[in-house]
Structure 1
Amino acid sequence: MIPQECKNTPQSKVFCPTRILTAGNAIELRDWAKAAINQGTTVLLIDFSQVSFMDSSGLGALISINQMVKLSGGQIRICSLHGQARMLFEMTNLHNCFHIYPDRQAADVALFQKAI
């Protein structure tokens, strides 16, 4: 599943996990985010378009990443959240804690507008 980086700039990295985000690979996602932050990345975008299932460990990894990013002065954005993963965000009310965009294009537009 991890890692599959999709599109990067010096200040932002896009990560595209595939299939599932569970205890088996949540640590990998956290390690990817930590390395990106240590390299000076200020915006992490996680594209959920290919994720079909996420458990509480995957959600915990995202919460941990959110804390790391905020401490470094950056931000995490999520796009293309759908199905079971979206339901998990809504059930835990975490959809109110993250910048969530319907698709990658909307996330890119929002990021560009903020940069202006």
Structure 2
Amino acid sequence: MDSQVKMIQPQGIFNSKNGQQLLEEVDQLTSDIKTILIDFQDVTFMDSSGFSALLVTLKTVRQKNVRLVICSINEQIKMIFDMTNTNQVFEVLPDQ
């Protein structure tokens, strides 16, 4: 993987705990990172606090001029993005 890409792979239920871990990783980014790829392949469910953490993460990375890409989301998470119209805000890819 490109050294300018930071891959994050949450697992299980993406909630406030996982969201906080994500925000901590984003805060520790070095200036050479240009893209964050969040691979949701092993995420089974995302609750509202996890979704909120994604929104905060997006705002934070944009302030750092870093691209945020989400991939491998399941149908439940896709439905959340569709229902909230954030599928137009987040860059979502089918897989890595």
Q: Does 1:71 align with 2:55?
A: no
**Aligned with 2:28: secondary structure?**
helix
Which residue in 2 is equivalent to 1:27? Answer: 20
Shift >3 Å, 4+ stretches: none
The one-character-per-residue Cα deviations of 1:55-104 (angstroms, maximum 9, x if unpaired) are: 11111111111111111111100111112111111111111101110000
Per the normalisation by structure 1, the TM-score is 0.76
* Aligned pairs, number: 95
Query: What are the within-5 Å matches in structure 2 for residues 1-116 of structure 1?
Result: 9=3, 11-36=4-29, 39-40=30-31, 41-104=33-96
> 1 or 2, which has the higher helix percentage?
1
> Relative CO higher for 1 or 2, CA cutoff 8 Å, sep ≥ 6?
2
**In 2, distance between residues paired with 1:89 and 1:33?**
21
Q: Is the 8 A contact 2:10 2:18 kept in 1?
A: no
Q: Percent identity?
A: 34
Asked if 1 retains the 8 angstrom alpha-carbon contact of 2:40 and 2:72, the reply is yes
In the alignment, the residues of structure 1 paired with residue 60 and residue 36 of structure 2 have an alpha-carbon distance, to the nearest angstrom, of: 11
Distance in 2 of aligned mates of 1:57 and 1:8? 30
Q: Cα RMSD over matched residues?
A: 1.3
Provide Cα deviations, 1:13-46, integer angstroms capped at 9, x if missing partner. Answer: 011111111123211111111112xx11221000
Q: Look at both structures and tell me which one has the larger radius of gyration over its CA atoms.
A: 1
Q: Scaled by the length of structure 2, what TM-score is found?
A: 0.90
Gaps of 5+ in 2: none
